[in-house]
Structure 1
Amino acid sequence: MISVFPDAKIIQTHRDPIKTVPSFCSMCANLFEPLTTNFDKVFIGKHWSNKLTRALNHCMNISEQHPDNFLDLEFLNMIKDPIDEMKKIYEFIGESFGEKTEVAMEAWREENKHEMGAHKYSLEEYDLTESQINNNFAKYQQKYIN
């Protein structure tokens, strides 16, 4: 993408793969299960864990080659203080974050405080372990999580 759009601004949120991998597997399982008679959660776990490992390693390599194109944000900070994180995004893309913008965002947050249902998933249901995830994503975790 950067070779075609050298001024591209890429905003990447980071979350511990211990949480993201089974969550992603769960999303895929929910999409695939109604469409097949040969549904295999173990396959989904292995396939997507491997694919996500490769994808994140690729993103890290591109980010290291083009650091000015990337803004890295922690997922938990987006949840805890989204307005502060939005200020970082606006600064990164060269836009001003005025009082009117902040008031509008705060109003939207206040109006949209509805509770979301719990998304339940586990590593185990996809035959994955914390040690596998920690091993596969060690480079990513070292750079962004630990």
Structure 2
Amino acid sequence: MQVREVMSAKPEFLSADATIRDAAVRMKEKGCGCVPVARNDRLIGMLTDRDITIRAVAEGKGMDEKVGDLVQEKVLYCYQEDDVKDVLKNMKEQKVQRLVVLKGKDDKDFVGMVTVGDIADKCADSDISQSIANCCKHYH
């Protein structure tokens, strides 16, 4: 099964000039723990609920500071044609539960997000189930 079959459609960007509060509100409204951050319509990074907790709240930053100053600019990604088993292996190695999805190696347009939950919801394969369990072990 390929990533394009399980990924979430291209999520909305949050501007790098948005505030940490804006990001938290967006996450609450969308029921997600991560938002892509863009500057001039170009993906510059991902902001997670954990980033807000660890890199903002725990460090005493105000909720009106810009997400562009907080965002992790190292974007982990996969391609929409990648096999989900390979993606799960990558997630396990990187100790993450979500990746940005790019269109392809030659066309790096941002086309969506894929999470362990997306894969679990749409895959019934027992090998994939084991890969999901292995991917999540480091969170216990």
Q: Same fold (TM over 0.5)?
A: no
More helix by share: 1
Give me the TM-score of the superposition, normalised by structure 1.
Answer: 0.28
More strand by share: 2
Which one has the largest radius of gyration?
Answer: 1
Between 1 and 2, higher relative CO (CA 8 Å, sep ≥ 6) is seen in 1
Give me the TM-score of the superposition, normalised by structure 2.
Answer: 0.28
